[in-house]
């Protein structure tokens, strides 16, 4: 299992290219199941979640080709992926494949919409909460699907096809909105999705579906209207920049000090997080090329932040902000409202000397003057990178174990960080 070794104390200077968003690339790849034609996706990040999903789609009969992929390719540009679901050979997504990543459950929507049936393993739990799929299934049921849970599988069918309907989500769900959008695109009639998620990745999926011939209005707002069409065609689409990767590297610079251009970043996609960073003392400038982040000399100010659905402060940056606040000059409070158990990083940050007290869904972080490097364990994707942020300012060496979590969502993190001067290295195997 790979590990990452970080020796803290170096400021960061230069340029970090921002990759395509994992959380957009995954539903976009899944959307390829909606059409017999080819869907070409550019700016797809090189991540283990992307290759795992390619394997899952392959099992359904999708031909996936990755243009220009070579071993040892060090170019930090996204890959172009061609997906062709000419014929779907299997409508079952087995446990062995689906349990490795939650987003793969979303194949249920295009399989049902195009083939009239699907059998998809319930996704595995992960370390951030229970993550049920009841609202995703409710959306499909509203569209006319019959649903049965059998031996750990969701078995759905719609012999007479799906019918447009009103879908009212009692809470904002990104996955539920993706599923509703994909299924409604091929349903008969009009669907209105109320309390829809407004995340940029939803907008990216809707934009791509529109290129494929879908009729969608209101994406990016809480009410989305979809008028179903009988078939969708192929399209070419570039994956939106990763706002979570952007916010993460902005926090790396805020922690380590320095001056870095986050190339290709889209500031308007993470305004809430950038506002918090400015409050904490970072200097943020939007440029034609991306976002420039600077912090020179001054200490960090503490902040009080609550996670919220978009456009609020994202839960996927909560752990990173906590890593940053471990060295603020004062007491910060971070409240997690999306997932009930997204605090696995607290005990690992404590190994580096952080003072964090948890009370229900709120963490109180007393900033300390000094963190000290230590061996730590990555427990989930964003928790892993919060340890990297803390390690950038820790005295001595930190060894982050189990970095396969990190590889799910950060494209060559050690290459990007060492290119701007961090002392970071991947140790393979062992």
Ligand X SMILES: CC(=O)N[C@H]1[C@@H](OP(=O)(O)OP(=O)(O)OC[C@H]2O[C@@H](n3ccc(=O)[nH]c3=O)[C@H](O)[C@@H]2O)O[C@H](CO)[C@@H](O)[C@@H]1O
Nearer Cβ to ligand X (103/282): 103
Q: Angle 22-31/48-60 helices, nearest 10 degrees? A: 10
Taking the C-alpha atoms of residue 295 and residue 217, their distance in angstroms, rounded to an integer, is 41
Looking only at residues 296 through 315 of this chain, which bind ligand X when binding is defined by CB under 6 A?
315
- Interface mask toward ligand PEP for 301-330; x: CB under 6 A: ---------------x--------------
- CB of 242 closer than 8 Å to CB of 18: yes
Taking the C-alpha atoms of residue 164 and residue 155, their distance in angstroms, rounded to an integer, is 20
Q: Is 126 a catalytic residue?
A: yes
Taking the C-alpha atoms of residue 336 and residue 308, their distance in angstroms, rounded to an integer, is 8
Rounded least distance, CB 24 to ligand X, Å: 8
Taking the C-alpha atoms of residue 149 and residue 77, their distance in angstroms, rounded to an integer, is 42
Q: How many CB atoms lie within 10 A of CB 97?
A: 21
Nearer Cβ to ligand X (336/348): 336
Q: Which of 102, 219, 295, 405 binds ligand X (CB under 6 A)?
A: 102
Q: Does 27 bind ligand PEP (CB under 6 A)?
A: no
Instruction: State how far the alpha carbon of 427 is from the alpha carbons of 47, 370, 374, 401, 430, in Å.
Output: 18, 26, 16, 10, 8
List of E strands, 255-298 = 258-263, 283-287, 290-295
Residue 409 interacts, among ligand PEP, ligand X, none and using kind-specific CB cut-offs from 5 to 8 Å, with: ligand PEP
Q: Does 176 bind ligand X (CB under 6 A)?
A: yes
Place of tokens 């019918």: 163
The sign of the dihedral angle between the CA atoms of 413, 416, 417, 419 is positive
Nearer Cβ to ligand PEP (29/187): 29
Among 63-71, 75-83, 86-94, 101-109, the segment contacting ligand PEP (CB under 6 A): 101-109
Looking only at residues 383 through 422 of this chain, which bind ligand PEP when binding is defined by CB under 6 A?
409
Interacting residue ranges for ligand PEP, rule: CB under 6 A: 23, 101-103, 126, 128, 316, 381-382, 409
What are the catalytic residues?
126
Q: Which residues are annotated as a binding site for UDP-N-acetyl-alpha-D-glucosamine?
A: 102, 131-135, 316, 338
Interacting residue ranges for ligand X, rule: CB under 6 A: 23, 26, 102-103, 129, 131-136, 171, 173-176, 201, 315-316, 338-339
């Amino acid at each position: 299992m790979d590990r990452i070794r970080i020796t803290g104390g170096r400021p960061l200077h230069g340029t970090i290219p921002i990759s395509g968003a994992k959380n957009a690339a995954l539903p976009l790849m899944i959307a390829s199941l909606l059409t017999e034609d080819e869907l070409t996706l550019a700016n797809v990040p090189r991540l283990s979640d992307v290759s795992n999903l390619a394997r899952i789609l392959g099992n359904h009969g999708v031909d996936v080709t990755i243009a220009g992929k070579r071993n040892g390719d060090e170019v930090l540009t996204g890959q172009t992926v061609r997906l062709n679901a000419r014929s779907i050979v299997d409508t079952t997504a087995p446990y062995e494949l689906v349990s490795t990543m939650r987003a793969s459950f979303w194949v249920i929507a295009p399989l049902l919409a195009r083939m009239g049936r699907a059998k998809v393993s319930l996704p595995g739990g992960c370390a951030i909460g229970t993550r049920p799929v009841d609202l995703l299934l409710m959306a499909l049921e509203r569209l006319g699907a019959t649903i049965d849970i059998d031996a750990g599988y969701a078995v759905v069918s719609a012999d007479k096809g799906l019918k447009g309907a009103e879908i009212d989500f009692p809470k904002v769900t990104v996955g539920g909105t993706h599923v509703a959008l994909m299924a409604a695109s091929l349903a008969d009639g009009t669907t209105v999705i109320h309390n829809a998620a407004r995340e940029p990745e939803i907008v990216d999926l809707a934009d791509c579906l529109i290129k494929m011939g879908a009729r969608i209005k209101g994406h990016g707002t809480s009410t989305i209207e979809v008028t179903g069409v009988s078939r969708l065609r192929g399209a070419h689409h570039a994956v939106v920049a990763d706002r979570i990767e952007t916010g993460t590297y902005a926090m790396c610079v805020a922690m380590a000090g320095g001056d870095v251009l986050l190339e290709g970043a889209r500031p308007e996609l993470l305004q809430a997080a950038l506002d918090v960073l400015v409050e904490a003392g970072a200097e943020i400038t939007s440029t034609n090329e991306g976002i420039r982040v600077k912090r020179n000399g001054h200490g960090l100010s503490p902040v009080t932040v609550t996670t919220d659905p978009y456009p609020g402060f994202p839960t996927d940056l909560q752990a990173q902000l906590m890593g940053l606040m471990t060295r603020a000059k004062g007491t910060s409070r971070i409240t997690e409202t999306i997932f009930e158990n997204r605090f696995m990083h607290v005990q690992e940050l404590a190994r580096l000397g952080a003072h964090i007290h948890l009370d229900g869904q709120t963490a109180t972080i007393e900033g300390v003057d000094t963190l000290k490097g230590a061996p730590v364990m990555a427990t989930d994707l964003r928790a892993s990178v919060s340890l990297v942020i803390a390690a950038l300012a820790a005295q001595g060496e930190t060894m982050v174990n189990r970095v396969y979590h990190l590889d799910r969502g950060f494209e060559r993190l050690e290459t990007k960080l060492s290119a701007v001067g961090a002392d970071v290295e991947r140790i393979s195997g062992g």
